[in-house]
């Protein structure tokens, strides 16, 4: 199924039969005998580079990648021979990304278990109190998840470091003295007085006013001494 905002580039209807070509990852082939077969379409620039097995991501993300590829193959490819070819392509791509063989087998077993789940008695679902996202650190994040699960709190993992965070900086860095909405403490450079304030426009304004007050006071003392 394509999103509602994607319009078909070709649409023909005859009575109750409809042939539509939608710009998705599906390749429709018209055979010589008049039949139509579907397969997964890959761009000429496609490199089969997916999330690498050694990348610092949760195991569930990596298994989710495999599940997505398998799910696409089963939904798009109807011919069993072509589906076998697509499954072999998936295994080859996963091998290039250094995925172990057991990862593919686990996904297939989980999919088979979910299909047979309808024939099993329903288990009582535990109502979760909520869910939180935590940065993923291998080993530690899993332990935190287990601890929170005892209190019926769900968790989902967030990537800690992204290339975008290191390369993309759309905003200029704000200096500490220009930070807004903070409570700060500044020691005067002309006297032992400590200035504490809560500024909405940055600390520079309040500190500048204090220095201006000190300057005026010093000028006033100088005038009084001259008089």
- Per-residue pLDDT of 62-96, as tens digits, reads 999 999 999 999 988 889 999 999 999 999 999 99
- Per-residue pLDDT of 14-62, as tens digits, reads 888 887 777 677 888 888 888 888 899 888 899 999 999 999 899 999 9
Position 203 confidence tier, pLDDT thresholds 50, 70, 90: very low
What pLDDT shows up at residue 81?
92
Mean pLDDT of 101-112: 94
Closest CA to 193 of 210, 206, 217, 218: 210
pLDDT tops 70 at residue 184:
no
Mean pLDDT, the chain, whole residue set: 80
Q: Tell me the CA distances in angstroms from 15 to 9, 19, 162, one per residue in order.
A: 20, 11, 52
Mean pLDDT of 121-125: 65
What pLDDT shows up at residue 17?
82
Per mean pLDDT, which range of 71-80, 136-145, 183-192 is the poorest?
183-192
Position 2 confidence tier, pLDDT thresholds 50, 70, 90: low
The percentage of residues in the chain with a pLDDT greater than 90, rounded to a whole number, is: 28
What pLDDT shows up at residue 31?
86
Q: Per mean pLDDT, which of 7-11, 51-55, 223-227 is the most reliable?
A: 51-55
Position 195 confidence tier, pLDDT thresholds 50, 70, 90: low
Q: Per mean pLDDT, which of 41-45, 68-72, 198-202, 213-217 is the most reliable?
A: 68-72
């Amino acid at each position: 199924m394509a999103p509602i905002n994607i319009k078909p580039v070709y649409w023909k209807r005859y009575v109750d039969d409809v042939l539509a070509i939608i710009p998705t990852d599906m390749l429709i082939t018209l055979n010589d005998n008049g039949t139509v077969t579907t397969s997964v379409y890959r761009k000429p620039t496609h490199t089969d580079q997916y999330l690498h097995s050694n990348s610092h991501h949760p195991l569930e993300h990596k298994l989710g990648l495999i599940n997505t590829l398998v799910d696409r193959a089963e939904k798009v490819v109807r011919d069993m021979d072509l589906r076998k070819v697509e499954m072999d392509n998936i295994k080859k791509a996963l091998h290039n990304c250094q995925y172990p063989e057991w990862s593919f087998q686990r996904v297939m077993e989980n999919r088979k278990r979910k299909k047979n789940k309808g024939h099993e008695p329903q288990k009582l679902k535990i109502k979760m109190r909520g869910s939180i996202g935590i940065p993923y650190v291998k080993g530690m994040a899993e332990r935190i998840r287990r601890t929170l699960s005892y209190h019926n709190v769900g968790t989902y993992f967030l990537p800690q470091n992204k290339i975008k965070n290191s390369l993309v900086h759309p905003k200029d860095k704000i200096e500490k003295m220009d930070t807004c909405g903070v409570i700060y403490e500044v020691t005067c450079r002309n006297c032992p007085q400590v200035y504490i304030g809560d500024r909405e426009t940055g600390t520079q304004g309040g500190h500048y006013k204090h220095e201006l007050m000190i300057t005026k006071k010093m000028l006033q003392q100088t005038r009084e001494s001259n008089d």
